[in-house]
Amino acid sequence: MLRIHGIPRSRAFRCIWAAEEAGLPYEVVPIGFAPGFKLERAVAINPNNKIPALEDGDLVLFESLAINLHIAKKAGAPLMPAGDDASRVLQWTLWTATEAEPHVMRWSYNAYLKPEAERVAAEAAAGKEALDARLAVLEKELAQRPFLVGEGFTIADLNLASVLYGSWMNGYDYGPFPKVKAWLDACLTRPAALRARRQREG
């Protein structure tokens, strides 16, 4: 039994979705946020005191995208492909962490997450400009194949789509990137994604 520490309205959502795609049994230990994005209590098993964290028997992991790679590896192909495609999955997962997440979070905090009085329009604009530049790269990639790696959905798609999910839900303009939008729509309406989203969106 996978134990996912966190709440669906946090990055733990990503891991809940991965567990749903993998078809592995899991439970959620609901550690969440007090106002101001502070954890309401310590995540005792995670030295970083952040959510999510995963317990899988004796193994304890932090970093949501790494947790998802672990879950996908347990499930095997097609969620985690073999050979060179496994390296491409790692590439896109690192790209998600370095090229997508910082910019989408900069936009998100200043477009909808923070209390309205604390939002800075120039910060939202800077995040959007940087993210748009990355989405232009992604648009060209998705013109060549329907998913990030090979012909089918993998954990690479899940990792990137789950990082973009909040922006997709909250009015980010994906109009200039039709292939990205179609890919996001497809990923985020998969049956497993819908099961995870129901826990979050209520």
Residues that bind a copy of itself (CB under 8 A): 47-48, 58-59, 61-63, 65-67, 69-70, 73, 84, 86-88, 90-91, 93-95, 97-99, 101-102, 137, 140-141
Q: Which CB, 48 or 117, lies closer to a copy of itself?
A: 48
Q: Which CB, 58 or 116, lies closer to a copy of itself?
A: 58
Minimum Å distance from CB 60 to a copy of itself? 9
Q: Which two tokens stand for residue 58?
A: 């004796």
Minimum Å distance from CB 65 to a copy of itself? 5
Identify the helix (H) or strand (E) that includes residue 84: helix 84-95
Minimum Å distance from CB 171 to a copy of itself? 25
Query: The tokens 């749903």 sit on which residue?
Result: 20
Query: The tokens 């097609």 sit on which residue?
Result: 78
The overall longest dimension of the chain from CA atoms, in Å, is 50
Residues 6+ apart with CB under 8 A from 48: 62
Minimum Å distance from CB 146 to a copy of itself? 17
Q: Which CB, 73 or 200, lies closer to a copy of itself?
A: 73
Residues 173, 113 contacting (CB under 8 angstroms): no
